Amino acid sequence: MESRRGPLTSAVPSNVVSPVRRCSRTACGRPAVATLTYVYADSTAVLGPLATYAEPHCYDLCAEHSDRLTAPRGWDVVRLAVDSGPARPTGDDLEALANAVREAARPQERAAGAAGGGGVGMGGREADPMEVARRGHLRVLRSPES
C-alpha cells in the first residue's frame, strides 16, 4: 500500500527476531532478568529468576521493573533469589543420584523383580532381557559381556 509519502515500511524487518527476551512492560525494551507469576488463588505475586521458556501467563521484567514491583492491596509478593550464573550440580545432587542407582541395583530388588513378574513387566509388556532391576524411571542394565 502506498501513501503520499511513498510505500509503507516497518522500522524493524518482520523476519528479524531478537534472541534476547525483553521486559514485558509497555515501552520498555531492556533485557528481562526476572519472571513474574501471579497465583490468583493465594493472592500472591511471585517474582523469581528468568524462566527457561517464555510462558503466556508469566511476565518477564527487567532489573528496574523487578526492583520497583508492587502488588495490589491485600496481595503478598514473594521474591525468590535471582541466580547470577547457570545452575551447576551440587554435591548433594550427585550423592542423591548415586544413592538412587545403588538402591536400584540391590540384590533383593533383583530377586523380587524376577520372582514377581515371570518375565512380564508393567502393563503386560515383556521385560527387557538386559534389564536387571528398575526403580521409578531408573533402570539397571546387565553388561553385554555377562
Is residue 7 in some structural domain? Answer: no
pLDDT at 110 over 80: no
> Higher-confidence residue: 138 or 119?
138
pLDDT for 142 equals: 73
Share of the chain above pLDDT 90, in %: 29
pLDDT for 5 equals: 57
Is residue 57 in some structural domain? Answer: yes
> Higher-confidence residue: 63 or 19?
63
Number of domains comprising the chain = 2
pLDDT for 97 equals: 79
pLDDT at 61 over 80: yes
Q: Kindly state whether residues 59 and 103 are assigned to the same domain.
A: no
Mean pLDDT for 45-60 is 89
Which of 47-61, 83-97, 130-144 is predicted with the least confidence, judged by mean pLDDT? 83-97
Is residue 12 in some structural domain? Answer: no
Is residue 137 in some structural domain? Answer: yes
pLDDT at 7 over 60: no
Of 82, 93, 5, give the one whose Cα is nearest residue 36: 82
CA distances, 15 to each of 1, 11, 12, 20 (Å): 19, 12, 9, 15
Residue-range definition of the domain harbouring residue 118: 91-141
Model's pTM, two decimal places?
Answer: 0.46
Q: What's the CA gap between 133 and 114, in Å, rounded?
A: 9
